A and B are shown apart, each in its own frame.
Chain A
Amino acid sequence: MDIFIYGIFNSISLALMALGFALVYGISRVPNFAHGALYVVTGFLTWGFLRTLHLNYFLSILLAMFITGIVGALIYQLILVRVRGMAISEIIASYAMGLAIIEGFRWWGFKGMTYTLPVFVEGSVTIAGIPIDWQRILVVAVGAAVVGFLWLFTHYTKVGLALRGMAQDERASLMLGIDSDRMAVVAMSFGAMLAGLAAIMLLPLGNIVVEKGYDVLILAIAVCIVGGLGSWMGAVVASFLIGFAQILTVVYLGAHFQMVVALLAIIVTLVLRPSGLFGRQKELEERV
C-alpha cells in the first residue's frame, strides 16, 4: 500500500518536473536544456527573497516564479530565436545557458546543504496507516490541478488553441496569423514558470542544491523521451510509469537505483519504440 502512495507522489513529482520541458518542446519544438537551471533559479530566488529580504513567503514565491518566467522568455528572445530551427544548435545554446546559470550559482557561493525552504503546512496526516506530510498531499493536488488546467487551457481558450495549433503544424499556424515567435516566447515563459512551480512544491521537502538542476533536467528528458517528445499527455503517462518503476526498485533493490531506472528507461524506449508512447514525430531521418 505504501508503494502505491509513494508511487503516486513520485510520479506526480516527475510530472511536475517534466511538464515544463514537454510544454516548450511540444509547442515550439525548442528543446529547452536550461530547464533544470530554471528550476534552480526559482529555488534560489525564493530563498533569497524569503531569508535575505524577509519578504512574505507567498510573495516570495510569486515574485520568484514571475522572474523565472521572464528569464525563460529572455533566454528565448535573446538567444534561442537566433538559432531557431537548427535543433542541435538549440540544444547546445540552451544547454550552455543552463550550465552558465547553474555553475554561476555554484561559483557565487550557493554550495552545500544549507539552503532550505519551509513547507507550506506543517504536520502530517495518516492515510491507510501511513503518515504522509501535508506538503506531499499538496504536491499531488497541485500536480493534478496543473494537468487539469493545461488540458482545459489548450482545449478551450484562444491562446491555448493557438498553442495547440502551433504544436501540430507550425506553417499552417503561421498562415493563419499566429505568430510563432511570440507563441514560442509565451511557451518558454509558461515552461519556465512550470519549472518554477515544480521547484516551489518540491524543494521544501529537501534542500536546494545546485546538483538538482542536472537531476531535474535528466529526469525531465527521460520522461519526455519515454512519453514521446512533443506530447504532454505522454509525459504524464510516462511520469507514472517511471515513477512507479523507481519506487519499486527503491523498495526491492535499494535507494540508489533511481537514476539507473531513468537511464534504462531511455535506452529501452529508444531501442523498442523510439517515438515514445504517444510521440507523433518521425523518429527516423526526414522523408524524401
Chain B
Amino acid sequence: MKITDAQVEYVAQLARLELSPEEKARLRDQLNSILEYMEKLNELNTDEVEPTSHVLPITNVMKEDRVEPSLSREASLANAPNHEDGHIRVPKIIE
C-alpha cells in the first residue's frame, strides 16, 4: 500500500506532531519505503499463529492493597513547566 498525504496528515494529528510541509513530504516517502519493506511479512501465512505480546509465560503479578506515602506536592510539580497554587496549568480547555 501507499501512504497518502492525507494519511500522513491524519496520523500526525493522532500523534500530536506539527509537521512542516517539507517534513510531511519526506515522512510520506520514508514511511512508504519502510512500509514497502514491511510487505515481506505477507509472505508468511500466520492464520494459525497466536500473536506474542509477552515472551515469558508470567501471569498474575499483583500487589496488595496497601497505601504508602505519595510524593510531596513540591516534588510532583518540580518538573512542571507551568503550575500555580498546586495545580498544573494548561491552556483553556473547551469541551
Q: Do A and B bind each other?
A: no
B residues contacting A by CB (< 8 A) are none
A residues contacting B by CB (< 8 A) are none
